[in-house]
Amino acid sequence: MRLWKMNGAGNAFAIIDGRTQPFRPDADTLREIATAFAADQVMAIEPDPHADVFLRIWNADGSEVSACGNGTRAVADVLLTESGQQKVRIRTAADTLTGTRTGDRLVTVDMGRPRLGWQDIPLSEKMDVRGIDVRIGPLDNPYLSRPAVVSMGNPHAVFLVDDVDRYDIPAIGPLVEWHPAFPEGTNVGFAQILDRRTIRLRVWERGAGLTRACGTGACAALVCAARAGKTDRTARLILDGGELTIHWDAETDHVLMTGPVELEQVVDL
């Protein structure tokens, strides 16, 4: 069984080839793999009758999740390199995504439509997803409040902030991640609008903590910023580990994510 250690814009993955031998780990094994390979997510490539592969995804804490944008780009790179083709279809628990080679070690993934209904995210009750009633700090004077929320196959709460470096994200992230408003937890983005086509972003990932990049988080930040009228529908997202370009297509309503991938290590288990 082969394992690829990869990263997408600094977002680190341990990707296991389960196409010929099933990979059915328990939570302890997943945590051990994540620790050994310093991975934010562990993923398994599996056969699928309806797409080129099925991608199963676990966070570093061993919890299974439905989507990982940068991880999907990394797996697309593996499959495109193997096949020599320009396009691959990858099914996840959230959706079937298309990955395309767009340059030297650059991959674009069509992430589909953002889900904007409160039930789709999901929230615990009906709220305006452009700014929900979540506050951090004193109730009468919170220093963070009313994040926009969206699902990109996984839930995201996005705070639009003036200066992302002012916030103690490892302290704030867990408070929002399991806030009662989010029955399944949430990823938490801190997005600073630099101009209409540039966003500085840091993300506390559900089940993984503060990561160097988050692909679905970048998509969520662009969607929330564009809906608020703060940016155009295409922007460069500057993350701790690298940069992504996110385009929210006005005609198809699909979000396209483009960025670099890097193969760090190949291990035969």
As annotated, the active-site residues are 68, 214
Residue in this structure with the two tokens 């939570």, named with its chain if needed: 27
CB atoms near residue 117 (< 10 Å): 12
CA 153 to each of CA 78, 91, 237, 251, 264: distance values in angstroms, whole numbers, following the listed order: 22, 12, 19, 20, 27
Q: 53 to each of 47, 147, 188, 189, how far by Cα in Å?
A: 5, 35, 29, 29
β-pair type (198-205, 234-239): parallel
* Calpha distance 89→7 (Å, rounded): 20
Closest CA to 109 of 143, 151, 144, 80: 80
